[in-house]
């Protein structure tokens, strides 16, 4: 039996914070328990059609993977591990949605402060490790400080556009938080977080709404990006470089490492630099070799790809058979075939879809959803998207779904949206 909470209850807010910071422990078992417990005790009697649509899409994907697993033999451990991993975004959406429905609009303050707390912990961790372990390279910086944090980017963007999202905060406090989050975000040296920031900012500015003005802006932005990349490419940063040079090398290989179709497995540089592409090639080969039925519904829960060699993972495991890949689309192709890939794309489509509104705040939230959907396309390709064990976007998106529903229900009377939007 679930507990009954009031909008003034402190426990739901505490649970929200815990569900975000528990990811810092890098233990999926702990995350699954905390998220599952929170989703259960905040369970609601009624859910909106919009929220259920997202859950049904994710649930159908699990159902396909469970069905296709009946036709192959898998290890029980990997089978149940897959179930827990595929449940993760469903739990995250439920946590964010349930708690926002309990607390109401006041949860926005907790959402912001949680992001600031993450940034503070990140910077403090780096400072401590700098003096203890003498961090001198980009690789050590990311090893001890973390590889990315999408939640911090969401918080930073919300504070930058505090007026558009009607966030009531003192100017001095807002600037302090922006500086703190900016420093923390930079120290991740994460290409995906940089892409996330640019995509969300452009989305909130309305640049992805197609019209003549926005097409011009997008062409100019594309030209600047291509020019900047060309400058980095021809500067030829070294693979063995340190600090900024190592980061520039990662940018140099970024457009190639996930899209190569041929890799020399005997050349360790080519293999390591393009490992994501290697995973994709192996997955397509090992799924298609089993015939059309497997192409359609995948190999099911517990399925793995055979790398053909044993390799160390970031979790310090020495493995040859990999159950989860970097690429969400390929992971879904492995587990649930083309149907799984289609369901993943439909989920992104509905995330970007919204009804026209004259409410300025709801309008900007819709733009944030659009930006999140566009970024999720990239995140799914390089970092397993919502299914990565360290990912926290699903909780934020669940909160945002509920927050928009509350605003729509209130039918707030705000100024009409100017035509230039």
Determine the Cα–Cα distance for residues 414 and 360; give it in Å rounded to an integer.
6
Q: Which residues of 308-329 are buried (b: 16+ CB within 10 A; e: fewer)?
A: eeeeeeeeeeeeeebbbbbbbb
Tokens representing residue 51 in the block: 């929220």
Per-residue confidence (pLDDT) for residue 191, from 0 to 100: 85
Per-residue confidence (pLDDT) for residue 145, from 0 to 100: 85
Q: Please compute, for residue 20, the number of CA atoms within 13 A of its CA located in the half-sphere on the CB side.
A: 29
Determine the Cα–Cα distance for residues 11 and 22; give it in Å rounded to an integer.
16
Per-residue confidence (pLDDT) for residue 241, from 0 to 100: 64
Tokens representing residue 352 in the block: 């970007």
Per-residue confidence (pLDDT) for residue 258, from 0 to 100: 65
197: Cβ contacts below 8 Å, ≥ 6 apart: 153, 156, 157, 185
Residue 56: which H helix or E strand, with range? helix 49-68
Q: Which among 300, 298, 240, 304 is positioned nearest to 273, based on CA atoms?
A: 240
pLDDT in tens, 99-133: 999 999 999 999 999 999 999 999 999 999 888 87
Q: Please compute, for residue 252, the number of CA atoms within 13 A of its CA located in the half-sphere on the CB side.
A: 17
pLDDT in tens, 245-283: 676 777 777 667 666 777 766 666 767 777 788 888 899
Is the Cβ–Cβ distance between 385 and 84 less than 8 Å?
A: no
Residue in the block written with tokens 């992971």: 331
Determine the Cα–Cα distance for residues 103 and 80; give it in Å rounded to an integer.
34
Q: Which among 156, 67, 81 is positioned nearest to 118, based on CA atoms?
A: 156
Number of Cβ atoms within 10 Å of the Cβ of 386: 24
Return averaged pLDDT per consecutive 10 residues of the chain, 421 residues in all: 75 96 93 96 94 97 95 87 95 97 94 96 92 78 86 97 94 96 92 92 90 81 80 74 68 69 70 79 91 94 87 70 89 96 97 90 96 94 89 96 94 47 28
Per-residue confidence (pLDDT) for residue 62, from 0 to 100: 97
Helices 328-352 and 275-288, packing angle to 10 deg: 100
């Amino acid at each position: 039996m679930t507990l009954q909470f009031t909008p003034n209850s402190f426990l739901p807010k505490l649970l929200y914070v815990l569900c975000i910071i528990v990811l810092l422990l890098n233990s999926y078992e702990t995350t699954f328990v905390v998220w599952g417990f929170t989703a259960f005790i905040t369970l609601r009697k009624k859910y909106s059609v919009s929220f259920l649509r997202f859950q049904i899409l994710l649930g159908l994907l699990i159902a396909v993977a469970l069905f296709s697993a009946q036709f192959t033999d898998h290890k029980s451990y990997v089978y149940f591990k897959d179930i827990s991993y595929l449940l993760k975004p469903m739990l995250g959406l439920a946590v964010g949605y349930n708690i926002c429905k309990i607390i109401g609009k006041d949860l926005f303050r907790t959402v912001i402060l949680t992001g600031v707390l993450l940034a503070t912990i990140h910077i403090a961790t780096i400072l401590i490790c700098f003096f203890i372990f003498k961090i001198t390279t980009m690789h050590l910086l990311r090893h001890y400080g973390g590889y990315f944090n999408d939640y911090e980017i969401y918080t930073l963007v919300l504070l930058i556009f505090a007026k558009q999202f009607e966030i009531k905060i003192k100017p001095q406090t807002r600037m302090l938080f922006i500086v703190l989050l900016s420093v923390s975000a930079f120290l991740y040296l994460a290409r995906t977080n940089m892409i996330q920031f640019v995509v969300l900012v452009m989305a909130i500015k309305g640049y992805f709404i197609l019209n003549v003005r926005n097409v011009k802006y997008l062409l100019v932005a594309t030209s600047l990006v291509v020019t900047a990349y060309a400058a980095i490419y021809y500067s030829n940063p070294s693979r063995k470089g340190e600090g900024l040079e190592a980061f520039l090398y990662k940018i140099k290989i970024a457009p190639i490492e996930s899209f190569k179709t041929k890799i020399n497995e005997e050349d360790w540089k080519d293999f390591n630099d393009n490992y994501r592409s290697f995973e994709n090639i192996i997955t397509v080969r090992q799924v298609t070799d089993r015939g059309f039925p497997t192409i359609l519904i995948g190999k099911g829960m517990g399925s793995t790809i055979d790398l053909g060699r044993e390799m160390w993972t970031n979790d310090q495991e020495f493995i040859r058979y990999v159950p989860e890949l970097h690429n969400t689309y390929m992971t879904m192709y492995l587990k649930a075939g083309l149907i799984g890939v289609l369901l993943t794309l439909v989920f992104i489509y509905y995330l970007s879809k919204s009804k026209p509104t004259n409410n300025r705040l709801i309008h900007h939230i819709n733009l944030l959803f659009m930006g999140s959907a566009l970024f999720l396309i990239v995140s799914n390709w390089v970092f397993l998207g919502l299914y990565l064990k360290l990912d926290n976007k699903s909780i934020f998106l669940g909160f945002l779904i509920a927050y928009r529903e509350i605003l729509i229900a209130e039918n707030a009377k705000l100024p009409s949206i100017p035509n230039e939007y």
